[in-house]
Each structure stands twice: as structure tokens, then as C-alpha cells.
Amino acid sequence: MTNVIEIEGLRKTYRRRRGTTVAVDGLDLEVPAGGVFGFLGPNGSGKTTTIRCLLGLARPTDGSLRLLGQSVPAGLGDAMRRTGAIVETPALFPTMTARENLRLLGSVDGIGMRRVDETLELVGLAERSDDLVKKYSLGMRQRLALAAAVLKEPDILVLDEPANGLDPVGMREVRDLLRGLAAEGRTVFVSSHILAEVEQTCDRVAILTGGRCITHGTVDEVMAAAGHQASMLVKVDDLAEGQRVLREAGLQAERAEDALRVALDPTAAGDVTRLLAAAGHWVTELRPDRISLEDVFLELTSEHQEEAHQPEKEVAA
């Protein structure tokens, strides 16, 4: 599988009055082509700085970046023709209409009006496309920024918090749009704080804290790496007896409040009910014991919080 983003040893520091702040600290990251890649991290973890370096908006202090096989910044001219991007707050001309904004941006790459109208339709702004952007709500501006990013039908979308300011309906539409783009074979690289959204949208994730990537992989891999196995919660009338039966069958079963936590993928629920029923214990409730990506995220990032605030992060000038 080819990588559309390759980051090696990325380091970015900013000079401050009292020393140097390390925003990204030796980041290594590879994003394979296709699918939706979630780029997660708490505030100040270096997500936006990484995206800025990737798009040539900031100069790395050290390390190398490649976007669509092109070296950054030398090959950005070619790479950006196939890349759509939103960086932080969407900024478009407030005194132009949405259509004019897109037409003007599109004309940089020779994109015609038909594609502009298609894109406005795609993001749900067709009816308001002739309104001035300064009259738009934050959510509408976000949609317009998204339209600007997808306008050139890019191979890769780099989106920094694309769901900012969107209402639940808008978030769902964006989620569907991103999934749709991924289904077309494009790669969507998205940074977000809204972890429930990420979990539903992304195929792979990377979690950053203190400017370093602490884990990456598919959502399941990240969950597993955090030490969370797939399990299910089972309720029977006699928990002690039920636990004994399951353990005798070689299953790992622990008491969890008023249920048993069985370390088994929920797809094997039939085996558990069969075992318990055979021993005369009727299952009254059985459900997957899911932990969310948010739980994993909080757990992993809190482990690294202390390290992130070590004195070495502030290098005296």
C-alpha cells in the first residue's frame, strides 16, 4: 500500500522570549492511500503545526515530509494540485458570494463553473450560494471551506477540524461526505477533537501528545494497543455460578458490578449463552462491552501528560 503522507523526524520549534517551545518533537507518521485517517491529540499537541508543515505553511526545524510522493516544500506546487485543505478557521473573502469565492479559487487551477455548482450542491450551500460570505454562520463558512477543499477533486483532503461549528445534522452530512470521498478512493486526513465522530468516520487513527505520536493504526489496533480486549457483559441470576461455569470452560470472566465481563468478542455471544444455558443459567442480558475511542484517547494522552510537561520541552535559549 503506497503512502500519501510520509513524515520522518519532524521537529518544529518556536522561539519565545524565554526560550524555545517545541511544538512537534520528532514525529514519524505514514498515512496509506485511501480511507479516512484521524489525526487526534489534545490542544497544543502539534496537530495543526504538523498540518501547517505538511502544506508548506510553516517551515520544519528538522525532519522531512512528503505529500503524494512529493517532497515538501520543493514539490508542493505539484502536490497541492491534487490536495484539498482546510487549516483552522475557514478564511474566504467576506465581501464575495460563496459562488464567487469558489469560482475565483477554482480559476487558479482552471476549474469551471459547472464544478463550482456541483460542489456547492454537494455541501448543501446551493440555495445560499449567492449570499455574501460575511452573512454566513460559522457552520455555513465551514461548509464553504469544505467546498473549497473538495472543489479540485483532490486525491487527498487534509482537513483541520472540519466539523467545527457544525450542528448535529451538519456533522452527519460531513461524516457522510468524508466517507463518500473515501469510498471513491480518495484519502481523507482529518484532525479532530470530536472523538465520537472520528470513531464513526475513520479507518485509521494516530494520536499525538506533546508533539509526538504515541500510537497509530486502525481503530481496533489502537484499542488493542491500549490494552483493551473485545469483551461482553453478561447478566445471569447467579453471578458466582455463572462465573464458575464460564471459567471451567476456559473463558476469562470477571465480576463487573451486577454482570460478568467475559473476555470474548461479542460475535461469539452464542457460545456463552449455550454454555450458561447448558448449566441451567439463563442469560437475562448480554451486550458488547465497548470502550470508546475517547476513553482510549484520554487514557493514552493522560499517561503522556507528565512527560509532555517535562522541563526539557522548554529549552532555554
Burial of 311 (0-12, 13-18, 19+ CB in 10 A): exposed
83-112 binders of another protein (CB under 8 A): 83-85, 87-96, 104-105, 107-110
Distance CA 261, CA 265 (A): 11
148 binds another protein (CB under 8 A): yes
211 binds another protein (CB under 8 A): no
Nearer to another protein, 52 or 281 (CB): 52
Which residues, 6 or more positions from 214, have their beta carbon under 8 angstroms from its beta carbon? 207, 208, 300, 301, 303, 304
Q: Which of 137, 147, 142, 156 is nearest to 105 (CA)?
A: 147
CB of 59 to another protein, least distance (A): 6
CB of 187 to another protein, least distance (A): 16
Nearer to another protein, 144 or 245 (CB): 144
Distance CA 249, CA 241 (A): 13
77 binds another protein (CB under 8 A): yes
Q: Which of 138, 136, 95, 101 is nearest to 116 (CA)?
A: 101
CA end-to-end distance (rounded Å), the chain? 43
Half-sphere exposure of 4 (CA within 13 A, CB side): 21
Distance CA 180, CA 27 (A): 29
> Contacts with another protein: how many residues (CB under 8 A)?
33
Cross-strand bridge partners of residue 29: 7
CB of 191 to another protein, least distance (A): 14
CB of 35 to another protein, least distance (A): 22
Nearer to another protein, 163 or 262 (CB): 163
Question: By rule CB under 8 A, what string of x and - marks binding of each residue 30-59 to another protein?
Answer: ----------------------x--xxxxx
Nearer to another protein, 91 or 196 (CB): 91
138 binds another protein (CB under 8 A): no
Nearer to another protein, 141 or 304 (CB): 141
Joined grid coordinates for residue 172: 452527519
Which residues lie near another protein (CB under 8 A)?
52, 55-59, 73, 76-77, 80, 83-85, 87-96, 104-105, 107-110, 145, 148-149, 152
